[in-house]
Amino acid sequence: MFHAVNRLTLKWSQRSSGNAMSKILIIYHSQTGNTEKMAWAVADGARFIENTEVVLKRAQDTTLDDLLGAAGLAIGTPENFGYMSGMVKDFFDRTYYPAGDKVFRKPYVVFISAGNDGTGALRAVERIALGYKFKMVYDPVISKGKLTDDDLAKCRELGSTLAAGCQAGIY
């Protein structure tokens, strides 16, 4: 549903120059490497956009300041037991109260690696994001089973769309 925005924002951002830097925070957890590869692809996509600084962090290393300093946020998790990974949940647990209303409508996107489903993890992230009042700005990417080139291409598109929209100030 967000595809038209993607094309528009990419064109817009590539034409613009001299804008202030915007920071994109990619926070993820990964046990066997799939979500991490997706996170790298999201980062590649975001770096494609001018004047974008990418901060790629494991969930356990991500701080409140990282969150507050980011113009946009990409959240990546494996689906574990029908939910997000514990480390991503821990990040939310640590930052929810102190973030307060400072993250109102912060643009965010989600990417998930799952064995065969992914909807439970997505629902859980969306529900928590509602509590923060984050604003989802592009379709989530869910990779099921073996990670494919198509999944990684979608992750690059996710990153470039988030970064372009933040840079253009359209969210």
Ligand X SMILES: Cc1cc2nc3c(=O)[nH]c(=O)nc-3n(C[C@H](O)[C@H](O)[C@H](O)COP(=O)(O)O)c2cc1C
Minimum CB distance to ligand X smaller for 84 or for 103: 84
CA atoms of 107 and 162, how far apart (whole Å): 8
List interacting residues with ligand X (CB under 6 A).
30-36, 78-82, 113-118
Report in angstroms how near the CB of residue 121 gets to ligand X at its nearest.
8
Q: What token pair was written down for 25?
A: 């925070």
Kindly calculate the radius of gyration of the chain based on its CA atoms and give it in whole angstroms: 15
Q: How many helices, marked H, and strands, marked E, lie in the chain?
A: 6, 6
Q: Which residues contact 140 (CB under 8 A, 6 or more apart)?
A: 109, 110, 111, 112, 122
- Per residue, what are the HEC states of 32-82? CCHHHHHHHHHHHHHHCCCCEEEEEEEHHHCCHHHHHHCCEEEEEEECECC
Minimum CB distance to ligand X smaller for 24 or for 114: 114
Report in angstroms how near the CB of residue 75 gets to ligand X at its nearest.
13
Report in angstroms how near the CB of residue 37 gets to ligand X at its nearest.
8
Q: What are phi and psi of 12, to 5 degrees?
A: -60, -50
Minimum CB distance to ligand X smaller for 17 or for 116: 116
Report in angstroms how near the CB of residue 118 gets to ligand X at its nearest.
6
Report in angstroms how near the CB of residue 123 gets to ligand X at its nearest.
12
Minimum CB distance to ligand X smaller for 29 or for 156: 29
Minimum CB distance to ligand X smaller for 79 or for 157: 79
